[in-house]
Structure 1
């Protein structure tokens, strides 16, 4: 996925075989151990760590679907959907996190739509892997290989909540197909979000050189502990300019644990709407803080409502860790499983207050539409299908003269797309609306007719 703004590219760092190799350099840096002793070489740490980093090659078929306008459907036949298939090959990186069970973590975009996944170990051996589960919105996937006679080595996990700006880190991966490439740098920033790379963003930023093919590779500390999973780069034409992003190890671990237990991510839901606290809001509300997550609305019956959170509160900590923005809070809550108890620190009328909430389930099949978007208030959404058998989100209940009715929705409508992106279920709808900017066009199936309803 990439976003081009003023000729600057934010892109996932997966590598396709057709890409040309670009050069990059990393400046030498002085390193110090935890005992403040100078480290003259990273070789001892890397000798222990690199066996836990693997190369991932994939083959598969990319399927694209496009709705054909009704006026042209007689030329295409079928249900008005044009389907194209295109074979692809790709390369990426992965990290062994459990040697005994053969668990390997990588990015979802590395293995998405892959029919065949091959893992190449540090010593050159190749084994087939299967995908146990993935989460597109956080870009995490979990693979498993048969461990018989492999003697795998796992990379130990760091507590990524303890990482500080300025900490030395090392990126290990497979840029441009050059396996076991090592680059060094520092942690440049924490809690990066709003990059439109994925639905849930809480990235560690680093200046360690990360290029295409590093996706799914390791960002490790000088002790060889996994700090994060390298995911994206920021720079002209997608090349490295010293700005890379990694998914924090703690966030990855929470998501992977859910995949192992349930086969999928059962994302937690707090049930609030809000925005970042900035200087303008702080001045308007006479606040003593300039960072945090401002709560503008609490959904009735939600985890936040049951936990005592109120509109006007400012959430400043989660589990004792500072919250700098609403998007950071959303990402941290979204990486925790439904039913998880979470401790939050908030400001209410200038005084700190501790609350504990038990997260709801963001993946439930029936939800009040207000929890997804305020313009949909008054509707109840349920996973379902159109009369033609196409998956979508059914308007199962609708309150007269509610906001959802005023935009044109009717009882029995099936939402099948948002801004030309296909919607199969409530989770897809929630994620699409979270990512949408500006005007939103809902693609709705009503009986045999297809129409667009616009939310401004």
Structure 2
């Protein structure tokens, strides 16, 4: 099975059934009682959901074989390829013309066109975009817009009804319904910060950026991906919780980018196996493996072996959920965490640090390190530790592993993430990373 983003290419194939010979008229009521219908709610909501079409040019780089470079060929061949795509979006502020969508819908686009349900089209301006959460904010200039009501994704329960609205396969606005099948889904390798709502409301390619709403017509999520073998709906779709998206939007509006909050811990999901090994009575939460010194967690007194059970009084089900929620809160945000330590509940106040001070996604350091998370090493080694690494990412394929400690670039010693970035920025030829793995020192080349 593959998990796929929902942006749709401009290709459409339609099969037409035989025409009906008669038109059935259904009653609007039976014995004086109105039949249940989502139509009244949707009449208010659907004008706030828009179609998005994009066009741009993608740059592709391909390494030239050594044998050709010996005869003067450049080390890389650069090719530009035009592209077009379709997606969806949601108007969240009618006065300002703000439209919420996915990062992958508008990524690398030179032209973004927003089309309303009444047929009007507008060129959109990108206010900001965050790849880590797959959230983007656009703006259009128009009167008579309809904005959607914002819901509260923190109060969702498995089994709540959900309605998906979007632009699947470029067909035009389409509505499907289902239920919330699961909450706090993570470890799917779709995005860097994952805390998804899972639903069986049918969503397909082109639904990216569209709305997931409750029966009150309130936005509870932004549809972003599906789980399926061939890009079609199989009843498992994923949406970014609206509360998480709202945290990102506030920062995009204020800064044009996200200034991530960082707690300063590594950990894992608490499950029955871990709970049994640690003699814990609870089965869900975020188990803390390590606390890095001089971080928000260390300052708050969090310790390795603690289980984080709540954020601001709301339950934490997994370490992935904790990481996603912390990562979408701004640097300097003040929060309360509920802990379980030695069988006793404890609450601590935390002021989140800044990502640039404590941790970076390795793609920000070097493109070939994408998929790793780098932190300043916490022991006397004084290097850069890989605290997490995404399966099949460029960093993993290059040979790096979680818990590796990078101590040098070629012959240049590095003691921090900033040192590593500076050293890599200065390298122009072959680059070797000096890495400590367990008791061994090895070299890994960046190619």
TM-score (norm. length: structure 2): 0.80
Distance 1:241 1:89, change over 3 A: same
Alignment match, 1:100: 95
Deviation per CA, 1:89-108: give whole Å up to 9, x if none: 00000000011111000000
Q: Gapped runs of 5+ residues in structure 2?
A: 17-32, 362-372, 386-403, 438-447
CA distance in 2, matches of 1:22, 1:198: 34
Q: Gapped runs of 5+ residues in structure 1?
A: 1-7, 24-36, 382-401, 416-424, 430-441
Q: Which has the larger radius of gyration?
A: 2
Q: Does structure 1 residue 165 correspond to structure 2 residue 158?
A: yes
Return the match for 2:383 from 358, 379, 384: 379
Alignment match, 2:56: 60
Distance 1:190 1:225, change over 3 A: same
Alignment match, 1:317: 310
Spell out the pairing of 1:30-429 with structure 2 (5 A cutoff).
40-68=36-64, 72-74=68-70, 77-78=73-74, 80-147=75-142, 150-364=143-357, 371=375, 378-379=382-383, 403-405=405-407, 410-411=411-412
> Is the contact made by 2:384 and 2:415 (CA closer than 8 Å) also made in structure 1?
no
Alignment match, 1:33: none
Quote the offset at 1:190 in angstroms. Answer: 0.3
Return the match for 2:11 from 9, 15, 18: 18
Distance 1:73 1:171, change over 3 A: same
Deviation per CA, 1:245-270: give whole Å up to 9, x if none: 00000000000110000010111100
Deviation per CA, 1:202-258: give whole Å up to 9, x if none: 000000000000000000011100000000001121110110000000000000110
Alignment match, 2:431: 450
Quote the offset at 1:379 in angstroms. Answer: 2.5
> Is the contact made by 1:76 and 1:82 (CA closer than 8 Å) also made in structure 2?
no
Deviation per CA, 1:315-371: give whole Å up to 9, x if none: 011111111111110001001111101110001111000011111111449989962
Deviation per CA, 1:109-159: give whole Å up to 9, x if none: 000000000000110000000111100011000000113xx3100001101
> Is the contact made by 2:383 and 2:414 (CA closer than 8 Å) also made in structure 1?
no
> Is the contact made by 2:54 and 2:110 (CA closer than 8 Å) also made in structure 1?
yes
TM-score (norm. length: structure 1): 0.78
> Is the contact made by 2:12 and 2:170 (CA closer than 8 Å) also made in structure 1?
no
- How many residue pairs get aligned? The number is 390
> Is the contact made by 1:21 and 1:176 (CA closer than 8 Å) also made in structure 2?
no
Distance 1:172 1:289, change over 3 A: same
> Is the contact made by 1:339 and 1:358 (CA closer than 8 Å) also made in structure 2?
yes
CA distance in 2, matches of 1:15, 1:373: 42
CA distance in 1, matches of 2:110, 2:47: 26
Distance 1:304 1:201, change over 3 A: same
CA distance in 2, matches of 1:159, 1:55: 24
Give the SS at the match of 1:289: coil
Distance 1:129 1:373, change over 3 A: farther
Deviation per CA, 1:166-210: give whole Å up to 9, x if none: 111100000011221000000000000011001000000000000
Distance 1:105 1:310, change over 3 A: same
Considering only aligned residues, what root-mean-square deviation do their CA atoms show, in Å? 3.2
